[in-house]
Each structure stands twice: as structure tokens, then as C-alpha cells.
Structure 1
Amino acid sequence: MGKKVASPLGEEEFLRVVVAPVNGDYIANPTTRGAAMTLSISKSDGVIKIPANSEGIEEGSTVLVTLNRQRSEVDKTLLISGSHDIALDILASELTFAESGVRLISSSVGSVGGLLALSKGYAHIAGSHLLDEETGEYNFSAVKRHMPHEKVRIYDFVGRTQGLMVQKGNPKEIKDVKDLIVKGTKFMNRQRGSGTRLLFDYLLKQSDLDPSKIIGYENEEYTHWNVAAAVFSGFVDAGMGIMAAALASDLEFIPLENESFQIVVPAKFIGSVETVDILLKQLSTSDLRNQIASLGGYDVSLMGNVAGEVG
């Protein structure tokens, strides 16, 4: 089991999961529970029965999955863990409709969570955009810190513009992070461990701002699109996220920083896991680049380039 799952004691639960072969084992990750159950059913590969006398499933435990999908489809599944981006959804779509039939399943746990999942053998790939405040470099120091015993290759995926998403007309007249305090703006943050959260904290530090003075600093969402939805609905006045999410959600955008979103791949998978090689080859296709570039807010000029190796 790739994630710890809590379950109410005294209630039998049937947990829907996605399954993929990683490092000779099959890794199961839970799909969405609760309100998004219909989507969860359509995306799931099978079901795990959690007995009524259990409080859940521990990470790393062995489980029995009753499959509702052909094993041949499961065997063509890639798990990518880490930061969320709609560009990954487009990549997944391109892979699905290609002749190879590779399925790319994303787990949005933040950049740090993705590297940790990769280090534990719970994913094939991690998506990351972790800034090193001292060097200004992305991901390399984080990979060294969180994956000290693994040789990995880092590939460029997309350049992105991070900033503040605000409602149309910018009613609070926000120009930079300082206005989040002086204008009493209600804010939506990203979760701890995400690259966006770390970047936001870095920008606050650079401006010598106290996070506790920002109304809603402790409010957390797990994707750029959830933050955008909170701003669009009026639940908050501003949120940190990427330009593409603001454009897609009909919001105004105040750019703050350009960053590198990269893909981290263990070297042992390259040339030995066919599905990984197919994904890496897909990065060089013009169709993929054009689709992502058309969204706005993305630089695809380096997509597929090897940024470097660690380990």
C-alpha cells in the first residue's frame, strides 16, 4: 500500500484503488473518497476490503485487491507522485490515446511528498519544483536531501509563472505580496511540502513579512485549480498559483516568479521499464508541446531535455 488510509472503526469499508507495478511489486493507492465517488469508480482499478474491526491500512502493508480492470491494463500503468499541474493531465491524455496505451496516474502530494514516495519505491516518477533559496536552482538540492541513496535523472518539463490569482478587476488592488497584509486580504495557501508553498514562504521572507498577519495563511488546498476555484467563488480574495490556472479560471494574475517544473526519474527505470521510456519519448513530441503552450503561462522550450543527474 503506497499511502496510509484511515477508516472508521466498526464500519466495513470498500476502498477503491489504482494499481501499478513498481520495482517488482504492485503498488496500490486510494482514489478520491466521498463527494467525488463517481469519478473515483471510473478511475479505479480495484477494491480493497477494510474489515469493521480495523482502523485502516498502514503505508507499506500488503493488501488484497479485487481487480475490476484487466491485468494487462494495470501492467501498463505509470505512477507519478508529487506536484500537481494540468500539463501532466495533458501528458496523461496523450499517452492514453497513443498506440502504446500507457496510463499515467497522478498522486498530488506536493513536491516533497513526491520525492519521498519515489525514495520508498511507491512511484515511477516524481513531479517537482522545489527552489533552493541559496543557489536559486530548482530540485537538485531537494533530490540530494530526500533521495540520498538513489541515482536519478532530472528532466525539464515546463517553465511556469507563479503569482497571485485575484478576482476580475482586482477589487483589492493587489500588486505584490505586501498587499496581502496591508489590504486585509483573505488568502488561500497551498499545503505544506508543496513547491508553491515553499516559494510563497520564500517571497514573504524576502519582503520581511510575518505570515501570521496574512488572513487565511493557514488555509490550504492541494492543487492550483482548487485555489483558483476558491478565489473565483469569492471565498477568498487571493491565492498563490500558476498563471495557467488563473487564465483557465477567468481570474486576473499578478506574476511574481518564474520557476522550473521538472520530472525526476530513478536511473534504474530508464531503459529497463518500457512504460517509463515511452513517457520520456512522448516529451519530445510537438503535439504535446503545442497543447500545453496553448494554455498560456507555460514555457515548453526545454521539455524533455536532461537537466542533470544526481547520485
Structure 2
Amino acid sequence: MDNTKALTVQDVADILKIAKNTVYELVKRGELNSYKVGRKVRFTLKDVESYIENSKKIQNPGRKENTALSDLYTDTFGGLAKVPASNEFIVCGQDLMLDILTSYMGKYCKNISALRAYIGSYSSLVALYNGYIQAATTHLWDGDTGQYNVPFVRRLLPGIPAVIIHLTCRTQGFYVAKGNPKDINSWEDLKRRDITVINREKGAGSRVLLDEHLRLMGIYGSSLNGYDNETQSHLTVASTISRGAADIGVGIEKIASQVEGIDFIPLQKERYELVIKKEIFDTPVVQSILKILRSDEFKSEFKDIGGYDISEMGEIIALT
């Protein structure tokens, strides 16, 4: 996709999975670059990618400044490494659905600062285990059981009872060049030597999905062309393929419709879920989160966006 092509407010809302009013608010706060054609606000893909990269910080809707992960909250493994204050509640994960959730928490959770940490599923669960956050989000697929999240929660939170709350389902698959010139259709095609991949960062749900399928096929990741080329978002994976720098990448379906020059090969439905420790389940803030997730007001934020199956949102999936 041409990084200079004009995107409308609705285009950006669709890419970021937020309401149009939120896009205008981001522009007003100076967080999202834009320009005007007459009275119309327009954006470039580069503007949107820059916003996503710059958003990978601990964010507090009630504060004027953001605290960078690298400053206070990262350890040598790139995860969180600071116990939150008693009035802070950190929700960890990369989907922009969580930006909307913490915004609602700012309105309905009294005396609590709702914070966001933008790190992948695996590192989120490790941070939860270490007590650096109160809520992790995950979409990790276990190839041995064919199950999402529960096996990883049990492994990464050993001896800690946890509650898994469903957020949404999304479709994962391959991004390929328009017209699929290399005829890529299944995981088996990764065995081919004429294919170059663009990968997600270690610990991301899409990266784990790829690695699990490689493991089941008896393939080492190091044997794939481009396996070590990592990026931090679905959008960047798709745009990399669009400009011809790679042949294939794993990502969610919705982004494919926002980037020109690529097609999407659907492979499997994934479950994106919220994990908290059982010992805080009955606290006012967690009960408020449940009410928010189950409310018509919150669900209406996603009805016109697409890419989300919210039919089970707010349901308790498992107690581990």
C-alpha cells in the first residue's frame, strides 16, 4: 500500500478498530498526525503506523504524560518489571479494544488509574505471574490440544488460580500479495524454499501460532527465509507484503481489508481473552470491568467496525 495515499477518518477507524469520534479525539490531542484537504481530515498509512508504534507505552487516560516501558516497566526480557501502585490497574496487551476498555474504566472505576501496557500475549502472562500487572490479554494457540489460552495460562501461572474472561474472536490467516502469485494456501506451503516470511515479535499470539504449526510439521523456524525479520503489528506485516519485501505473514483478517495490494488466506478462528488472578476477581474494579464488557454501551463500540465476533464477550471461559 502506498504510504502517501490519503486515508479517511473512517479508514483509520477501521484500521485501529475504534470509533470515528475517537479518531478525531486522537487528532485533537496531537497523538495522530493528519492533514486537511479543504475541510476534510486525511491521513497517510505512515501516520497510522507511527501512532501504533508510539502507542506501545504504559498509558493512563487521566494523565498528561505517558511512561515509556523502557524507562520504568521493562526488564532484560522486554517484559514489565515494576509493581503497580495501589491505585493503578494495568491492562496488558496490544489490541486497541483495550484502549476503549481502559477509557471506560476511567469513567466507571472510581479512584483507580486505568493504565495500558503494549506487550505481546506471552510476556503479558509472565508479567501477570510476577505481579507487575493485574490483567493480561492473550490469544495463544496450543498445537497439542488445539485449544486457545487455557494451556498457556496453566503453564505460565503455575500454582496461581486464574479467571479467563472472553473478549472476542478473530480470524487468523496469511497475508499474501494480491492475486496470490505464489499460490500459497496452507501451512504446508511454509516448507517451500521460494517463500520469504515477515514475522511478528517473540511472544505475540500470531508468532506463537506460526511457531506451533512449524513445530507440528517438524520445521525449524531458522529454515524459513525471513524468519528473523520481526515487526510489532499486523498492519506493518501487511504493508511489508504489499510493497513486495516479503511473500507471506500471519495476521488477522480485518487489517487485510485496509491495505491495498494484498489478499487474505483464512486459516483458523482465534480466541482473544482477558486473564486475571482469581484472588482479585471479587474486587470492585474487576466487577466493574465485567459490567463494562457485558454492557450494550461497550459492545456498541464494535458493531460497525467489523473484524470482531463479540457474541461471547464478558463470558467466563475457565477457572484455572
TM-score, normalised with respect to structure 1? 0.69
Q: Distance in 2 between matches of 1:268 and 1:181?
A: 45
Match of 1:242 in 2: 252
Secondary structure of 2:312's partner? Answer: coil
Q: Distance in 2 between matches of 1:280 and 1:294?
A: 22
Q: Distance in 1 between matches of 2:67 and 2:123?
A: 24
**How many residues get paired?**
256
Match of 2:20 in 1: none
Structure 1, unpaired ranges of 5+: 1-31, 51-57, 64-73
Contact 2:161 2:278 in 1 (8 A): yes
Q: Is residue 252 of structure 1 aligned with residue 263 of structure 2?
A: yes
Residue 44 of structure 1 aligns to which amino acid in structure 2?
E
Match of 1:44 among 65, 76, 97: 65
Q: Is residue 265 of structure 1 aligned with residue 265 of structure 2?
A: no
1:9-158 maps to which residues of 2 (within 5 A)? 36=54, 44-45=65-66, 60=81, 77-82=88-93, 84-96=94-106, 98=107, 100=109, 104-158=114-168
Greater displacement, 160-169 / 260-269? 160-169
Structure showing the higher helix proportion among its residues:
2
Deviation sequence 1:9-43 (CA, Å, 0-9, x none): xxxxxxxxxxxxxxxxxxxxxxx9xx949x99986
Match of 1:304 in 2: 314
Contact 1:187 1:238 in 2 (8 A): yes
Q: CA deviation at 1:45?
A: 4.5
Contact 1:129 1:261 in 2 (8 A): yes
Q: Distance in 2 between matches of 1:62 and 1:107?
A: 13
Q: Is residue 284 of structure 1 aligned with residue 305 of structure 2?
A: no
Q: CA deviation at 1:95?
A: 4.0
Q: CA deviation at 1:61?
A: 6.9
Structure 2, unpaired ranges of 5+: 1-49, 72-78
Match of 2:304 in 1: 294
Structure showing the higher strand proportion among its residues:
1
Residue identity over aligned pairs, in percent, reads 31
Greater displacement, 133-142 / 200-209? 200-209
Q: Is residue 216 of structure 1 aligned with residue 226 of structure 2?
A: yes
Cα distance change on mapping 1:149 and 1:81 into 2, 3 Å: same
Contact 1:76 1:275 in 2 (8 A): no
Residue 190 of structure 1 aligns to which amino acid in structure 2?
R
TM-score, normalised with respect to structure 2? 0.67
Match of 1:26 in 2: none
Residue 281 of structure 1 aligns to which amino acid in structure 2?
K
Deviation sequence 1:31-73 (CA, Å, 0-9, x none): x9xx949x9998634699x8xxxxxxx975799xxxxxxxxxx
Q: Distance in 2 between matches of 1:160 and 1:108?
A: 19
- CA RMSD of the aligned region, Å? 3.5
Residue 149 of structure 2 aligns to which amino acid in structure 1?
N
Residue 65 of structure 2 aligns to which amino acid in structure 1?
S
Q: Distance in 2 between matches of 1:47 and 1:111?
A: 19
